[in-house]
Structure 1
Amino acid sequence: MSSPVRFRMSRSALIPVLVLALCILPTAAVTWWTLLLLLVPVAVACWVLRSGTDVGDDGVTARAVLGSRTVRWTELAGIRIGERGDLWLVTTAATEVRLPVVRARDLPALAAASGGRLEIPALPQ
């Protein structure tokens, strides 16, 4: 069993989060309840670090900040490309699961990670 291929947001996305935290810090230091403002950059950092897509032997897992959803290979009917290049898994139950972080430009890497289980659909013109 091979380890899953992970598609994640670049860690350089944490730099603006750090800048945001530094900008919020003077306001947050005014009183005790304004310290809650620091939860905003913490939440954004959690989103950057957690969200992504894992492709493994058992299927494709879409990870969000507070949960994840795995679509097994036997449940997968295909892939839909959204209007902005985002990817959606279409299941045999006619539901769709958005793949975070993965875009249409990542289709060759996604197909390679699937081990031949996914075909690359034609890109819209």
Structure 2
Amino acid sequence: MSKHGTVRFRHNQAILVAAIVAFVGALPLASARVYLLPVLLVPLAVAVWAWRAGTDVDARELRVRALVGQRRIGWDRVLELVTDTRGRAVARLDDGHDVVLPAVRGADLPRVVAATGQPLPDAPADASDQ
């Protein structure tokens, strides 16, 4: 698949910086005793998640990426894109499931739709404009 025309949504990179700082801060603790070495895995996992997790959108599909693995969802399976009560973007699928799109906010939905190549519907006029 060509990377041209793909819109990528990722979490704020400050999370990655915080994970690196936590890793460096955990080094003295982890080096004190051998059984404390797994403490280093927590900031390492957060760093990998911050670097990898997110949503990729192109004209063919949505790709939801997590710490491990990814899920590809064709646009033919998506019934609608909505926001939940927390302001996150959600894709409602034809099988009745909802998929939260990582790193995509409700305000980003016009960019998601534009990446599909479909025209955006005109916004309805406010009642106060009439």
Asked whether the two chains share a fold, i.e. TM above 0.5, the reply is: yes
Alignment of 1:1-125 (within 5 A): 2-116=4-118
- How far off its partner does 1:121 sit? 8.9
- TM-score computed with the length of structure 2 as normaliser: 0.83
DSSP 3-state at the match of 1:10:
coil
Cα shift readout 1:37-65 (whole Å, capped 9, x = no counterpart): 10011100111011100112321111111
2:81·2:109 contact (CA, 8 Å) conserved in 1? no
CA shift for structure 1 position 13: 2.4
Amino acid at match of 1:63: R
2:93 and 2:123 map into 1 onto residues whose CA distance is 16
Pairwise CA RMSD: 2.2
Task: Kindly name which structure, 1 or 2, has the bigger radius of gyration based on alpha carbons.
Answer: 2
Count of residues paired in the alignment? 122
Runs of 4+, deviation exceeding 4 Å: 117-122
Contact 2:62 2:72 in 1 (8 A): yes
Percent identity of equivalent pairs: 34
d(CA) in 1 for partners of 2:122 and 2:31? 51
Measured after TM superposition, the shift of residue 120 of structure 1 is 8.9
CA contact (8 A) 2:5 2:115 kept: no
Q: What secondary structure sits across from 1:93 in the alignment?
A: coil
Q: Which runs of 5+ in 1 are unaligned?
A: none
Q: Give TM-score scaled by structure 1 length.
A: 0.86
